[in-house]
A = this chain, B = another copy of it.
Amino acid sequence: MTERRASIGARRNPETEAAVLDAAVAIVEEKGISGLSMEAVARRARAGKATLYRWWPTRGALLMAVYQRQKRIAGYPDTGTLEGDVAGFLDTLFSHWSRPEGRLFRHIIAAAQGDADVAEALEAYRQDRLASLSELFERARARGELSAAVPSGDMARAVMAMAWLHLLVDRLDADTAGMARALVRGWTVSRGAGEARPQ
């Protein structure tokens, strides 16, 4: 995994980059996030510390790089109903966050609380995902499924908030269908507002 690498001249060595990111992932899997020090990554990747700091000036930057290396989630299922779409979105997201590299995300949020650079990167990423999520609501609006009272952005934010909360309190096994229902039921044109099951 860690053969000798040297400079390839006056430019960045992609093998080194890969070795570093791989090492970071491996460390988090083995020791948890608290084991992820720059020192440990350098050691494991057989990279010089200066090399690390040259390309990832902070631990948060390294974290973001690892997280973003994975390809974006391509798209979300189109089930034909908003409630189904939202439930599908949550399912996809929760199972993504449950995988080794996805697990990092909660730590990125944590890091952002004390590191402005991470916060900025996270915010950019979040806005991007928010836009992507909004499309789901636009689709429903186009279908005429939506009572237009609530802006798409607000609804997307509510869904994202629900997702983050469950990530941060380690409840990724929660009932996504229930969540979708609780959020969506009111936004959609009333078919069944009266037949509600009290609980």
Enumerate chain A interface residues (CB-CB to B < 8 A): 32-34, 106-107, 109-114, 119, 122-123, 126, 147-155, 157-158, 160-162, 164-166, 168-170, 178-179, 181-190, 192-199
Q: Assuming A34-B114, A190-B190, is B197 touching A148 (CB within 8 A)? A: yes
19 more A-B residue pairs beyond the given contacts A150-B182, A151-B199, with a C-beta to C-beta distance below 8 A = A33-B113, A107-B114, A109-B110, A149-B185, A149-B196, A150-B185, A150-B196, A153-B199, A157-B162, A157-B165, A157-B182, A158-B183, A160-B165, A161-B162, A161-B165, A164-B164, A164-B165, A165-B165, A189-B193
Q: Assuming A164-B161, A169-B126, is B155 touching A182 (CB within 8 A)? A: yes
A169 & B123 in contact (Cβ 8 Å cutoff): yes
Provide the bound-state CA to CA distance between A170 and B113, in Å.
Answer: 9
Name 25 interchain pairs, CB-CB below 8 A, sorted by A. Answer: A33-B114, A106-B113, A109-B113, A109-B168, A112-B168, A113-B168, A122-B169, A126-B169, A147-B193, A147-B196, A148-B197, A149-B181, A149-B186, A149-B192, A149-B193, A150-B181, A150-B185, A151-B199, A154-B179, A157-B182, A158-B158, A161-B166, A164-B168, A186-B186, A186-B188
Q: With both chains docked as a complex, state the minimum distance between the C-beta of A185 and any C-beta of chain B, in angstroms.
A: 5
CB-CB under 8 A from A34, the residues of chain B are 114
Interface residues of chain A: helix, strand, loop or mixed (majority): helix
